[in-house]
Amino acid sequence: YLAQKMYEPAFDHAISGSDSQVVAEIAEHRFNLMLHIGQHKLLRRWLDALPDAWHFQYPVIGLAQAEFLGMAGSVAACLGQVDRVEQAILESDREDQSWQLARVNTVRCNIACYQNDLVKAEPFAERALRDLPESDQHYRATVHHSLGEAYRHAGRWQEAREHYHKVLALVQDPAYRFRSTHVYGALADVEL
């Protein structure tokens, strides 16, 4: 199922077989996309089906849970989840530790931007972009998108434009066209 990009049955079979590796692979490809295109009920069902330990064994799962909480307006719960994911990463001997911490900083940047707190957001963004691999387009685009939104709300038009254009340069994957649609609308707003 996974080879055919049939994620729902792949997820169901992975859960039935307690195959955390397959679930983590699905999470890597689908969880953030589901969050941003409004598949919230399905994502909630999937997150609820996972053992708690997997949320911290696989940071992509724990961070998706955090972002889900943040989008639902539970900012304190979101930040608590981010703290637990970060602690699990720091206590691990992961080879990709700096990459995973960069993803944590991306989520922290996103939340700070949501709260219109650029003083907090900018250092998180700087650390995230420094340590995210170029191939991690979703998280890199999230940093730029978040900053674009925060700069736009602060009336810092040129900085908003720059970050929105960086998002457009990153979202080549057809699955993420939703992001470019939003960015074009935001750019139109900036021009107005």
Q: What is the pLDDT of residues 90-124, one digit of tens each?
A: 999 989 999 999 999 999 999 999 999 999 999 99
C-alpha separations of 58 from 85, 97, 98, 117 in Å = 9, 11, 14, 28
Model pLDDT for residues 154-178, shown as the tens digit of each residue: 999 999 999 999 999 887 766 667 7
- The C-alpha atoms of residue 142 and residue 146 are separated, in whole angstroms, by 6
> What percent of the chain shows pLDDT beyond 90?
77
pTM above 0.85, yes or no: yes
Cα–Cα distance between 118 and 101 in angstroms, integer?
A: 20
Residue 99 to residue 135: CA distance in whole angstroms: 11
